[in-house]
Amino acid sequence: MNMNLKEYETLGIVLDIKNTKENDGLVKVLLPNSIEYLYARGIQKAESKNRANLQILSLVNLEIINPKISTGIKTLKRATIIKSFPFNEILQDQYNTVKYFLNKQLRSNQLNSFMNFYLECLDNIEKYPNHTIDLFLLKIIEINGLKPIFNKCVECSNTENIIDFEFYKGGFLCSNHSKNNKSVEILRSLYWLNQGFNPFIKNVKDLEAKTIKIMLLDYLKNII
């Protein structure tokens, strides 16, 4: 992807759409290396092809036209939906969580590998909502440069007598550095959290996934 060309293609996630004058709009998108506002002509028209492909939180392929001057706004030429967020009442909390944290990301955040990961989220969110949100929130932590330690005590690198895990401290803690004994089920589940979608879904029950979600949200609300 060469963004210096007059036109280029890229993957993106639709974050917001604001209507402007007449039938046009501004589309806020999360791209692999930035957040951009794209000027979209005619998307308020019922017959607009782009309109149907610009669903909030959908993963889309974008054809973008660069402005003639560096201070100008980029123009959306064409949007093609790859996968939409399966929005329904049951997934309302998950929808709100994903939308909130994606809109909090900064241009400097490392988003290059995020698009393929997000496609996995969309593939799994309906069947495994709590597991998917856990992995999504962990990825948000990672792209903000705060990935926890999952294979040893964060304080002394001890791999034995692990009894606790705290996101705000950076990962697992041994008995020499914590007096808080978390259950074996939660500690095992936190280990699997770092192993990707299939292992995490296969080895972690929904109850533990819900508990981890609370831990992640409690941590993230204090840093983002």
Does the pTM of the predicted model rise above 0.85? Answer: yes
Name the residue with tokens 């993106």.
12
101 and 154: one domain?
yes
Asked if residue 72 belongs to a domain, the reply is yes
Q: Are 63 and 48 in contact (CB under 8 A)?
A: no
| Residue 35 dihedral angles phi and psi, to the nearest 5° | -115, 130
For residue 183, the enclosing domain spans: 89-222
Residue 108 scores a pLDDT above 70: no
Residue 107 scores a pLDDT above 70: no
The whole-number pLDDT of residue 49 equals: 87
Asked if residue 202 belongs to a domain, the reply is yes
Asked if residue 63 belongs to a domain, the reply is yes
Q: How many CB atoms are closer than 10 A to CB 96?
A: 10
**∠ at Cα 58 (57, 62), nearest 5°?**
120
Asked if residue 2 belongs to a domain, the reply is no
Residue 130 scores a pLDDT above 80: yes
Asked which of 55, 83, 111 is the last residue of a domain, the reply is: 83
119 and 212: one domain?
yes
pLDDT digit string, tens, across residues 35-49: 899 999 999 888 888
20 and 124: one domain?
no
Q: How many CB atoms are closer than 10 A to CB 222?
A: 9
Asked if residue 98 belongs to a domain, the reply is yes
The whole-number pLDDT of residue 129 equals: 98
105 and 197: one domain?
yes
| Pick from 202, 34, 189: nearest CA to 111 | 34
114 and 158: one domain?
yes
**Whole-number Cα distances in Å, 78 to 41, 43, 60, 176, 212:** 10, 11, 10, 57, 39
What confidence tier does 3 reach under pLDDT thresholds 50, 70, 90?
low
Q: What is the CATH number of the domain that holds 208?
A: 1.20.1440.120
What confidence tier does 5 reach under pLDDT thresholds 50, 70, 90?
low
Give, rounded to a whole angstrom, the gap between the first and last alpha carbons of the chain. Answer: 30
101 and 201: one domain?
yes
Q: What is the CATH number of the domain that holds 29?
A: 2.40.50.140
The least confident of 109-118, 121-130, 145-154, 164-173 is 109-118
73 and 94: one domain?
no
Report d(CA 158, CA 106) in Å as an integer: 35
Residue 2 scores a pLDDT above 60: no
Asked if residue 215 belongs to a domain, the reply is yes
What confidence tier does 115 reach under pLDDT thresholds 50, 70, 90?
very high
Domain count, the chain: 2
The whole-number pLDDT of residue 105 equals: 86
Token couple for 143: 């792209």
The whole-number pLDDT of residue 33 equals: 84
Max Cα separation, the chain? 65
Asked which of 37, 52, 83 is the last residue of a domain, the reply is: 83
The least confident of 4-13, 35-44, 157-166 is 4-13
Asked which of 66, 83, 100 is the last residue of a domain, the reply is: 83
Asked if residue 76 belongs to a domain, the reply is yes
pLDDT digit string, tens, across residues 197-207: 999 999 999 99
